Amino acid sequence: MPLNLKVYQAFDRELIAEVPADDAAALDHKLSVAAKAFADRDAWLPAHQRMAILRKASELLEENRDRFAMMIAREGGKPLTDAVIEVTRAIDGLVNAADELRNFGGKEIPMGLTAASTNRWAFTTKEPMGVVAAISAFNHPLNLVIHQIAPAIAVGCPVIIKPAATTPVSCVEIAKLLWQAGLDERWCQTFVTEDNALAEAFATDHRVAFLSFIGSAKVGWYLKSKLSPGTRCALEHGGAAPVIVDRSANLDVIVGAIVKGGYYHAGQVCVSAQRLFVHEDILTAFTDTLAAKVGTLRVGDPTLKETEVGPLILPRETERVASWIKEAVDAGARQLGGGRMSETTLLPSVLLDPPEDARVSRLEVFGPLTCVYRYSELDEAIRIANALPYAFQASIFSSDMAVALRAAKRLDASAVLVNDHTAFRTDWMPFAGRRQSGYGVGGIPWTMEEMADDKMIVFNHVS
Residues recognised as catalytic: 236, 270
Is residue 311 a contact partner of residue 344, using CB atoms and an 8 Å limit? yes
Which stretches of 205-282 are DSSP H helices? 217-226, 251-263
Torsion sign across C-alpha atoms 299, 302, 308, 314: positive
Rounded Cα–Cα distance for residues 420 and 398 (Å): 10
The CB-side HSE value for 71 (13 A sphere, CA atoms) comes to 22
The CB-side HSE value for 369 (13 A sphere, CA atoms) comes to 33
At 184, is the secondary structure helix, strand, or coil? coil
Strands 349-352 and 334-337 turn out to be antiparallel
Rounded Cα–Cα distance for residues 360 and 373 (Å): 12
Rounded Cα–Cα distance for residues 50 and 101 (Å): 9
Angle separating helix axes 169-180 and 143-155, nearest 10 degrees: 30
Please write down the long-range contacts of 110-116, taking CB distance under 8 Å and 24 or more positions apart. 111/458
The strand pairing partners of 418, in sequence order, are: 396
The strand pairing partners of 396, in sequence order, are: 244, 418
Q: How far is CA 255 from the centre of its chain?
A: 24
Q: Please count the other Cβ atoms lying within 10 Å of the Cβ belonging to residue 70.
A: 16
Distances (CA, A) of 160 to 130, 171, 255, 441: 11, 11, 41, 20
